[in-house]
Amino acid sequence: MNDSFEQVKCRANKLKPEMLAMDIRTLEEEHANLLSDKGGESEFWECLKDQIERVQGLSYVLKCDCGEEYKVEVNL
């Protein structure tokens, strides 16, 4: 038990003074916000990956006024 208490005390000494001045409720709110941000970031990257997969492989043939044809495609 004493070892656990000493570990907590040691970790608390490493905290910035601003963190020590905050009450536990504020810290819990900040923690929840950080977790929410992380979830939002994961969702963003997943959505971006899906969009890239949808766009990848698209191709279109353009015909120039001079008669030449050019194939335009997305290749990642």
Torsion of CA 52, 56, 61, 64, to 10 degrees: 50
Distance between CA 65 and CA 9 in Å, rounded?
77
pLDDT in tens, 8-50: 666 766 766 766 666 778 878 888 888 888 777 888 888 888 8
Question: How many structural domains does the chain have?
Answer: 1
Domain range for 29? 2-73
Query: Which pTM does this prediction carry?
Result: 0.40
